Chains A and B, each alone.
Chain A
Amino acid sequence: ETGVTQTPRHLVMGMTNKKSLKCEQHLGHNAMYWYKQSAKKPLELMFVYNFKEQTENNSVPSRFSPECPNSSHLFLHLHTLQPEDSALYLCASSQNPRSDYNSPLHFGNGTRLTVT
């Protein structure tokens, strides 16, 4: 049990589909993150939310749309994706990155996304 739960674990979608990834953290953290993990590449930070406010968008294409209704929940809405978007999408949480600079990230198990 990681304290960070991601659903679904696996997702296969066509390029014209619309789907959403969900993340929930039970750790009382203030910040939540979306990362993309592709083979042979460093983890790529996509979005950061701190106290529900988006603080970073790392030049992510608009076909990825995040939503953070509260500090415990984070969504990633997907539409008109490309095959190269196939990857493992990881959610993470941490204490307030603005005041707790030493806070490590706590990761979920990820959603394995395949775009056909």
Chain B
Amino acid sequence: AQSVSQHNHHVILSEAASLELGCNYSYGGTVNLFWYVQYPGQHLQLLLKYFSGDPLVKGIKGFEAEFIKSKFSFNLRKPSVQWSDTAEYFCAVTIITGGYQKVTFGTGTKLQVIP
């Protein structure tokens, strides 16, 4: 069965600092990769996704992620964080099994940005 690891459970940064959140998955086949974000008091929403093509994908609010197949990684980055980026970030992997897409989430990383 596939699994998703997010090694950083809680990250605290000052505004303008650079961000990188790690995400590793275990599955040898074709995967689709997602990052979701949950702002305080709000619903989970899609930040960015990778299906194929350029392994560097750009999402909303200046976020980007790079798919490195050899490392089974899909790390999330932002060059300069803002206070409004304070949220919980979830990495997710989907595989196709039994004719259906199956989604597996990581445990999430809480990001706190200090003004």
A42 touches B43 (CB 8 A): no
B60 to chain A, nearest CB (A): 13
Stretch of A11-19, A63-71, A105-113 lying at the B interface: A105-113
Which of B36, B46, B51, B103 counts the most chain A CB atoms within 10 A? B103
In the complex, A45 has a CB within 8 A of chain B = yes
User: Please, what's the 1-or-0 string for A78-105, where 1 marks a CB less than 8 Å from any CB in chain B?
Assistant: 0000000000001010000110011111
> A90, A105, A106, A110: which contacts B103 (Cβ < 8 A)?
A105
- CB of A59 within 8 A of chain B? no
A contact residues around B32 at 8 Å (CB): 101-102
Alpha-carbon separation in the docked complex, A43 to B83 (Å): 25
Contact B107 A102 (CB under 8 A): no
Residues of A within 8 A of B90 (CB): 43
